[in-house]
Structure 1
Amino acid sequence: METGYLENKIVKLKPMEMEDVDDIFAVACYDEIWTHMSITVKNREDVIKYVESALTLKKAGVEFPFVIIDAFTNKIIGATKLMDINEHHKRGEIGFTWLTPDYWRTSINTNCKYLLLTYCFEHLGWQRVQIKTDHENIRSQKAIERIGAKKEGVLRNHMIRKDGTSRHTVMFSITSDEWTKEIKAHLENLLEK
Structure 2
Amino acid sequence: MNIPTLQNEIVKLEPLSLDNFKNLYAISSDRDLLKYSPSDISTFQALTTYVEFALEQCEKDLAVPFIIYDKTTQRYAGSTRFMNIDWHNKVLHIGATWIGKEFQGTGLNTSMKKLMINYAFQKMEFEKVEFRIDQRNIRSRKAVEKLGAQLEGVLRQNVYLNDGYKRNTCCYGILKGEW
Q: Smaller-chain TM-score range?
A: over 0.9
Q: Match for residue 70 of structure 1?
A: 70
SS in 2 for 1:93: strand
Give the Cα–Cα distance (whole angstroms) in 2 for the partners of residues 41 and 161 of structure 1. 13
How high is the sequence identity, in percent, across the aligned residues? 33
SS in 2 for 1:173: strand
What residue identity is the alignment partner of 1:91?
Answer: V
Give the Cα–Cα distance (whole angstroms) in 1 for the partners of residues 70 and 20 of structure 2. 14
2:154 paired with 1:154: yes
Q: Match for residue 88 of structure 2?
A: 88
What residue identity is the alignment partner of 2:30?
Answer: Y
Moved more, 83-92 or 41-50: 41-50
Moved more, 121-130 or 158-167: 158-167
Instruction: Report if aligned partners of 2:94, 2:131 keep a CA contact under 8 Å in 1.
Output: yes
**How far did residue 34 of structure 1 move?**
1.4
**How far did residue 21 of structure 1 move?**
2.8
Whichever structure has more helix as a proportion of its residues is: 1
SS in 1 for 2:32: helix
TM-score w.r.t. structure 2 length?
0.95
TM-score w.r.t. structure 1 length?
0.89
Instruction: Report if aligned partners of 1:79, 1:96 keep a CA contact under 8 Å in 2.
Output: yes
> What does 1:137-148 correspond to in 2, within 5 Å?
137-148=137-148
Give the Cα–Cα distance (whole angstroms) in 1 for the partners of residues 2 and 121 of structure 2. 15
**How far did residue 158 of structure 1 move?**
1.6
Q: Which runs of 5+ in 1 are unaligned?
A: 180-193
SS in 2 for 1:169: strand
**How far did residue 66 of structure 1 move?**
0.3
Considering only aligned residues, what root-mean-square deviation do their CA atoms show, in Å?
Answer: 1.2
Give the Cα–Cα distance (whole angstroms) in 2 for the partners of residues 78 and 154 of structure 1. 27
Q: Match for residue 3 of structure 1?
A: 3
Equivalent pairs, count: 179
> What does 1:20-99 correspond to in 2, within 5 Å?
20-99=20-99
Q: Match for residue 165 of structure 1?
A: 165
**How far did residue 42 of structure 1 move?**
2.2
